[in-house]
Structure 1
């Protein structure tokens, strides 16, 4: 899948070095409710989880690749691991790609995929209250704060929206 500035393609093992570098940045991982990634073993497990999710569910986060440079920007896409409260949409970008609008661009494409290809009736995003950047992305793509819940030991905001009519 492509957007104006990004290629969204399946994550692979070849993404590991870029993925591990992104996930080693505490400013990046402090915004994630999935748990701390503190070393390369944790980054490997995280990447393998997304790749495995695609095998089990048929969809997962994609690698985000900048069209003009071929650079790894981050990951984004649909997500519903066991125990997740609905079809989720998530994003995570390398810090040096923050502020360029890539998260919103990728999230819009992924949201459209959820409604058209996955026939979702609702799409949600779980966001830590302190993650103001992700809250802004959620609001830019049309998500609204629905309620709060507990997830993996954290109180998180549930943002989301129903299928457009």
Structure 2
């Protein structure tokens, strides 16, 4: 792990329709309900057998790296939408941006909105030269989000025993 300064782990971002704030233990019920939906779970590059451990992993990642996925809330209602943000656990093939939304919020453009904010954060706050996203073959919705944020399919690889598509892009400019 490098010793470069870490960004603030408590960063909060806003987009026109979303609040991106640090995940907390208070998000567990909504988070677990989202992951209990088989259609949501089937699209994840990392299978989630235990939602508590998954949530704790994102919170711990923030403590170790200084950044992690944020909880996504609708600004108008405060409803839990999902999670999105930067991510680089041990063994990941680069700094990543990921997203996972509760199915009730699919088709509203929230994934692209949150992913764009997360990508900008990676380039601006984390000074990343490039960012990747891992997407399961057949997950057309996530592939479309990746393409909307300027990612292109770079290659396929194995990650945690699963074949995944690696989408990514370099820093603009």
Normalised TM-score (structure 2)? 0.92
Does the 8 Å contact 1:104/1:140 carry over to 2? yes
> Which residue among 87, 90, 108 is the counterpart of 1:79?
87
Whether 1:127 aligns to 2:135 is yes
Does the 8 Å contact 1:22/1:74 carry over to 2? yes
Could you tell me how far 1:33 is from its partner in structure 2?
1.6
> Which residue among 5, 18, 21 is the counterpart of 1:9?
21
Does the 8 Å contact 1:30/1:36 carry over to 2? no
Unaligned runs of 5+ in 1: none
Whether 1:101 aligns to 2:109 is yes
Unaligned runs of 5+ in 2: 1-12
Partner of 1:48: 56
Does the 8 Å contact 2:48/2:54 carry over to 1? no
Could you tell me how far 1:35 is from its partner in structure 2?
1.4
Aligned residues: 161
Could you tell me how far 1:69 is from its partner in structure 2?
0.7
Normalised TM-score (structure 1)? 0.97
2: distance between equivalents of 1:129 and 1:119? Answer: 29
2: distance between equivalents of 1:94 and 1:151? Answer: 24
Q: Secondary structure at the match of 2:146?
A: helix
2: distance between equivalents of 1:26 and 1:79? Answer: 23
Give the aligned CA root-mean-square deviation in angstroms. Answer: 0.5
Does the 8 Å contact 2:35/2:48 carry over to 1? no
Q: Secondary structure at the match of 1:4?
A: coil
Partner of 1:158: 166
Partner of 1:58: 66
Could you tell me how far 1:36 is from its partner in structure 2?
3.8
Q: Which moved more, 1:142-151 or 1:27-36?
A: 27-36
**Deviation string for 1:114-146 (max 9, x for gaps)?**
000000000000000111100000000000000
Partner of 2:7: none
1: distance between equivalents of 2:85 and 2:60? Answer: 14
2: distance between equivalents of 1:56 and 1:97? Answer: 30
